[in-house]
A = this chain, B = another copy of it.
């Protein structure tokens, strides 16, 4: 890699992305939908090519001693490729957010002001090992009229290149700019860090991946970032809870899919029902192989727990582990969650109106549930369709980010000679 100039390398991506974004912003819905369907077809038609590329990635993974679980995330199959294609076709049935008039009014001086929804421009998506993210993210960018520069993990580089090439070729054949989808083919850390500072060409960065990736982007980026995905979520079972409902919700929030960001990590239980509830739910959790880590009080009601430490309140396990804490009531639950939570998804199970209201008012999170599982924080479950991630920052977007969250707006002002006095 002698004479490799990172800035020049990325500027090439940036310049064509900016031109592509301009054209994508002008493209009408039919053209974008037709292209998405064509890409879906092309992905399936080129399954063999994609799987061959994926095989190389998998061979390298084995050589490098990648864990079997990680290999599974990396692996593509005919079915998984069909899944990516179906995702693209689904996008065509969602409404196009671009061009929507969000607001409009006339000023006393006669100026007519219209607030119109437009694409963000060039999105930088930085993600880890799952190659299907390439197709998902690119599809969302196309439908929302953006161009994207994708930077995937080095483990999946061959698979990602194959998928991105099919996008570019098909976009071009559909009369859209092929550079609307570009993949960074140098996966060095230096290039990734430089991409995070490409303010002249990238409008917004969206990292998709684990806490380490998100932290690295937040620390290094000068391009505006939307943080996604860190979820240290809680369920608080109040003293008036319907305990059967609470058991169902706790089981669902912890065990239905423990590896995702909207799964519960800490269970908070009101002291007045702790003995009864913990004895009912903990046996079931144990049956599902959930490791329990409890506070002193929790252990006094259900002994078969490990000790919870301060670290446990802070940890997003993404695994079959649950921290358990007995609290004196909704006040302490709110305090604990606002202190340790990551502003993602939080739930109270209660029949008490005041406590439900207090919890929803006072918890600082993107999604605050009463009597439902935290697992519903998801684009499809909210009716938004496919999502680029779950934002847990407060700027721009919060919660599930669908097509609308990949847009901004501009004010169009029409007059007949108005000057400011």
**A interface residues with partner B (beta carbon < 8 Å):** 22, 26, 105, 107, 111, 113, 120-121, 199, 203-204, 218-219, 222, 224-226, 242, 245, 248-249, 251-252, 256, 338, 356, 360-362, 364-373, 375-376, 381-383, 393-396, 398-399, 408-420
Contact = CB atoms under 8 A, between A and B. Distances in A.
A415 B408 CA distance: 32
A338 B22 contact: yes
Contact of A414 (B252, B372, B373): B372
Given A204-B394, A368-B410, 6 more contacts: A22-B362, A224-B224, A252-B419, A366-B411, A372-B413, A372-B419
A200 to B, nearest CB: 11
Number of chain copies forming the complex: 2
Contact of A410 (B366, B376, B408, B414): B366
Contact of A219 (B222, B376, B398, B411): B222
A405 B383 CA distance: 25
B413 A368 contact: yes
Nearest to A118: B364
A398 B408 contact: yes
A199 B404 CA distance: 26
A413 B367 contact: yes
17 contacts: A22-B362, A26-B362, A113-B382, A121-B364, A204-B395, A245-B417, A252-B419, A367-B411, A367-B413, A368-B410, A370-B412, A372-B413, A372-B415, A373-B418, A373-B420, A375-B419, A399-B410
A390 to B, nearest CB: 11
Contacts of A381: 107, 420
Contacts of A360: 412
A389 B415 CA distance: 23
A204 B396 CA distance: 11
